[in-house]
Amino acid sequence: MIQMKEVYKKYPNGVVAVNGISVDIKQGEFVYVVGPSGAGKSTFIKLMYREEIPTSGEVIINGINTSKLKKREIPHFRRKLGVVFQDFKLLPKLTVYENVAFAMEVIEEQPKTIRKRVLEVLDLVGLKHKIRMFPNELSGGEQQRVSIARSIVNMPKVVIADEPTGNLDPETSWDIMKIFEDINSLGTTVVMATHNREIVNKIRKRVITIDGGMIVRDVFGGDYGYEI
């Protein structure tokens, strides 16, 4: 599903953000990525959705080597991944419904299919009653639900999340985690960078710890471990 082989990523300014990572994440896994600020977590995750390509080594997602993707092939590649960000990245001028539908419109799904599927995922995240609202009329937790709905609307095999609960209060964070667990229980691989120690220690999953651009620990059912 997700494979990295001897991956290095050096930014143009000379910073080596990923310094020799090899990892294998299988279909259906739930993986937390933890580690101190500046450790390379975001870069590790950006390599997965081809926001970045490695300076050397290989990143293979669903059998596709991201370095070999042509520019015109990237949109098609991204469709098979759902991505969720800390700051939601919703389109402010579109309603909840439209934000989610948009992800299906760009791949030219049938209007009937879109309508059915959008309502289905908004129901899954508990927002069916707010489909006509705009992002600025929603709480942070609700906005993150919309962003999760958008990430799964095209039925990706993997959902990648970079600090999805970073802007949310603890209670809302637990609700959002419940949704990720539901998505994972339906067979979708989930990879999540997080600083949320309580969640990692309570909802036990595989924990990959990154420090200095390297994987320093990789434990199934592990704890947050890292002390600040």
**Of 40-48, 65-73, 91-99, 115-123: span binding ligand ADP (CB under 6 A):** 40-48
User: Which residue's CB is nearer to ligand ADP, number 15 or number 155?
Assistant: 15
| Per CB under 6 A, 41 contacts ligand ADP | yes
| Per CB under 6 A, 164 contacts ligand ADP | no
- According to DSSP, the β-strands at 158-162 and 81-85 are parallel
CA pair distance 218, 201, nearest whole angstrom: 14
User: Which residue's CB is nearer to ligand ADP, number 5 or number 195?
Assistant: 195
| Per CB under 6 A, 186 contacts ligand ADP | no
| Per CB under 6 A, 43 contacts ligand ADP | yes
| Per CB under 6 A, 82 contacts ligand ADP | no
| Per CB under 6 A, 17 contacts ligand ADP | yes
User: Which residue's CB is nearer to ligand ADP, number 18 or number 114?
Assistant: 18
| Per CB under 6 A, 37 contacts ligand ADP | yes
Can you give the binding site for ligand ADP, defined by CB under 6 A?
11, 13, 15, 17, 35, 37-43, 86, 163
